[in-house]
Chains A and B, each alone.
Chain A
Amino acid sequence: MRGAGARYLTVAGFAEGVRLSVPAIPVMALFGTAFGAFAAQKGLGLLEATLMSTLMFAGASQFVATEMWTEPITVSVVTTLCLITAAVNMRFMLMTASLRPWLGGLPAWQTYPAMALLTEPGWLIAMRYRAAGGTDHSIVLSSGIALWLIWIVSTVLGYLLGAVVADPRRYALDLVMPVFFTVMLVPLWSGPRRAVAWVAAGAVAIVTAEYVSGSWYIIAGTVAGTLSAGFIDERA
């Protein structure tokens, strides 16, 4: 099935991946800008914010990490940041797992870089391309690189913008994070039966936030929601 040529990245596939990324650019740029502005408001340095976008390329976890960033950085702060980052980004496991059937036959040195740069829009692009009969796997890596560059540049722009806004509350910039997360939540809605996990997560998180200091409420709520989804048997 697999010709020798199909195992290697192609220029045409690279160009196609960049072309497929174009519709995703406005959202990516907006979220990158929002993150940059948020990081500036929270007192992160420009270098730190830019490095975070470069190394992580995962908006939701970057917002949370910025929120929890506390100086001085001790071993326990680093540990907490890594655990939270892993928890927020665990959803990537599902996305990259779903690409295995398509990419599994390719050499690891070609697929893991593409996985390292995979995001929700990139994953959607790949799944749609595949569903439409596309076969050139180069588009996964090239759309990843294109979106990654947009993300880094917009982070810098947003940071510079956020640093000059004197009164962030007036432009509702303090609400960027809850609004951003709510928008992420909408496509995850899969009917009232599945909403049990959300209710459990929300209730446990609010109660924990009330009585326990720090960010434990995030972990407590997530564990409660995830477990409730796992242990409620459902007939589809």
Chain B
Amino acid sequence: MGAGLLALLAMGVSTFLMRAGGYWLMAHVPLTARVHRMLEALPGALVVAIVLPIAVKIGVIAFLAISAAAVVMVLRHNGFLAVVGGLIVAALARSMGM
């Protein structure tokens, strides 16, 4: 647990630095339009980079689940329903032998 605790603390510090960093930077460094555009694109790019390779690895069922979740999210704007919906679709598809 010693090394694990250290890793957890370090990740906590790293997360805090991001949260404090934006607030701090805003007072000291002007954001150019390009940097702002890049920072804006970063979360989406990151999420796609994380999800797609995992979905490819898991296969069709993953694409079913994420499509269902995305549709629910677009229609209802409710993260709770979207996650539950995506998982239910995947569980049903599996129970039918997919």
Chain A residues packing against B (C-beta within 8 Å): 26-27, 30-31, 34, 45, 47-48, 51-52, 55-58, 60-61, 64-65, 69, 71-74, 77-78, 81-83, 85-100, 103-104, 111-112, 115-116, 118, 169-189, 194, 197-198, 200-202, 204-206, 208-209, 217-218, 220-222, 224-231, 234
- Whole-angstrom distance between the alpha carbons of A96 and B54 in the complex? 30
Q: Given A94-B22, A97-B26, A185-B51, verify A197-B6 contact (CB < 8 Å).
A: no
Chain A residues within 8 Å of B41, by CB: 194, 197, 225-226, 228-230
> What are 28 residue pairs bridging A and B, where the CB atoms are less than 8 Å apart in the complex?
A26-B80, A52-B8, A56-B12, A74-B3, A78-B6, A78-B10, A82-B10, A85-B14, A90-B42, A94-B22, A97-B23, A97-B31, A115-B20, A170-B95, A172-B61, A177-B51, A182-B66, A183-B86, A185-B48, A186-B74, A187-B73, A188-B43, A198-B48, A201-B44, A205-B53, A225-B49, A226-B41, A230-B37
Chain A residues within 8 Å of B31, by CB: 97
Closest A residue, CB atoms, query B6: A78
Nearest CB of A to B33, in Å: 9
Nearest CB of A to B60, in Å: 12
Q: Given A177-B54, A179-B69, A185-B51, verify A87-B44 contact (CB < 8 Å).
A: no
- On chain B, the number of residues with a Cβ less than 8 Å from chain A's Cβ atoms is 72
A229 touching B87, Cβ below 8 Å = no
- Whole-angstrom distance between the alpha carbons of A89 and B61 in the complex? 28
Q: Given A174-B58, A225-B41, verify A181-B51 contact (CB < 8 Å).
A: yes
- Whole-angstrom distance between the alpha carbons of A64 and B47 in the complex? 10
Closest B residue, CB atoms, query A200: B45
Q: Which of A98, A221, A231 contacts B45 (CB 8 A)?
A: A221
A82 touching B83, Cβ below 8 Å = no
